[in-house]
Structure 1
């Protein structure tokens, strides 16, 4: 367990350093452009209707009626609309996260894993334990399970403390499943991948949860853009790019950790060159007596 934690911390700092690489910065623009496109499409077709429906639900809640009356008496008649907008954003962000993470798992993560392998694990044998199709099926399956978990836990998002726990945990689980699989798909065999998942399961889950909370940070900037409407067009792109860097960091972190763990596991399994050589012996029966002949 201690060795796994040391490996986790070492890969963490290496991933941070790699985030400054120009190739990583360029590839971080892919999720940025993807999220901008998805946000524009969803906002253009569904924003007004979604906010109106959420606002109707808030206005129809009896226990909130006194709060709206109190706020309207003080000139804040738009309070329910503002809260509805924030709730729509908080509800849409996990869906965008899952979709973009799926795209990153298919395109961006393999490139960053190749970068880590090229610079640090050039001598590590590639056993090609999973094809691109297998990786895509694995990522899609994990994404569907995460979306199902989001739908099931949606009522919990009404309570702020649970909202701060459920979302990052689900995204953390998805990050761990997608990133760890992609990091090992080219270099590890199927059996090696399964062994590493079992041996380092707690560390991998912890990494996924940490990445999940890091991924929640851009959402704060996103919501700030709604509150401070004058800075909306500045804060939202910043939030998306920060999110893209978080995804890049996650891919690098899992690549460093998984490939280093694979290298260690193979080194442990390899026979030591310092073991004494056992002389070959065979027995010959001569006249009923066993005679040992050693070469």
Structure 2
């Protein structure tokens, strides 16, 4: 039996770029299937309902809180107003606060939709991908649902805390783009790399895959996070991202088991 430490390097064959491109191309084809188009409804409704509730209950008090905070930091004081008027951007005062408020509330609804997709839609996605591409791949995971829920809640908590605490840095121009990309890459990666293999991979297999493909998971999450900058993509990303990780991880798991079979055969010779 080979040890974990000797199995951390990816096998010869496809490169990381090829595996990533294959996952996205297969996910795109799968997304066009009627079943996967239907799966878009649940996370979208959760995100939409969450957005309406958050905006209804927290929009006004959050704007007042952000305006108070900006005044304390001197962003909206009298001198700042004179400077803004002087360069012809006097309306920015009425834009900064709503943008920051929306930037606080809408991602909370978005992460709720992604969590629902990871926990409730992922099993549907995995069944679809397995039937289409990996019909002989056996499920060897244990306590998959509870593990998935615990992971989703933990990642959701870290995302919300990180997003809220880093929000003041949005006033620094480059970070206003970098921070959303980073936090969404974190959410996509940490949620979906686990949920896409927890049903099928044993504990040992999961550890091997998470170590072996760690950089590739983050590249997948980064690409999805960049797509998340495009508002039209928000509707499909909860399911499309699940498809990307499902295709990637089920293929990786199938390759890992093929390696084990080959190693076992060589040991018997």
Shift, 1:32, TM fit: 1.8
- The size of the alignment, in residue pairs, is 256
**Consecutive unaligned residues in structure 1, runs of 5 or more:** 219-238, 279-295
Shift, 1:273, TM fit: 10
- Structure possessing the higher radius of gyration over alpha carbons: 1
- From 235, 245, 251, the equivalent of 1:260 is 251
- Does the alignment pair 1:24 with 2:17? no
Q: 1:89 — aligned with what?
A: 102
- Does the alignment pair 1:201 with 2:214? yes
Divergent runs of 4+, >6 A? 70-77, 272-277
Deviations 1:72-93 (A, max 9, x none): 6999875422321111111223
Cα distance in 1, alignment partners of residues 173 and 259 from structure 2: 47
Whether the 8 Å contact between 1:19 and 1:25 is mirrored in structure 2 is: yes
Whether the 8 Å contact between 2:46 and 2:112 is mirrored in structure 1 is: no
Cα distance in 2, alignment partners of residues 113 and 106 from structure 1: 11
Matches within 5 A, 1:152-167: 152-167=165-180
Give the TM-score, by structure 2 length.
0.84
SS in 2 for 1:122: coil
Cα distance in 1, alignment partners of residues 23 and 121 from structure 2: 19
- Identify if the C-alpha distance between structure 1 residues 52 and 77 changes in structure 2 by more than 3 Å, giving closer, same or farther: farther
Cα distance in 2, alignment partners of residues 151 and 76 from structure 1: 27
Cα distance in 2, alignment partners of residues 132 and 277 from structure 1: 37
**Consecutive unaligned residues in structure 2, runs of 5 or more:** 1-9
- From 228, 236, 250, the equivalent of 1:245 is 236
Cα distance in 2, alignment partners of residues 276 and 141 from structure 1: 41
- From 119, 126, 150, the equivalent of 2:163 is 150
- Does the alignment pair 1:7 with 2:55? no
More strand by share: 1
Cα distance in 1, alignment partners of residues 263 and 184 from structure 2: 42
Shift, 1:17, TM fit: 1.2
Cα distance in 2, alignment partners of residues 100 and 45 from structure 1: 19
Shift, 1:205, TM fit: 0.9
Give the TM-score, by structure 1 length.
0.77
Q: 1:270 — aligned with what?
A: 261
Whether the 8 Å contact between 1:55 and 1:81 is mirrored in structure 2 is: no
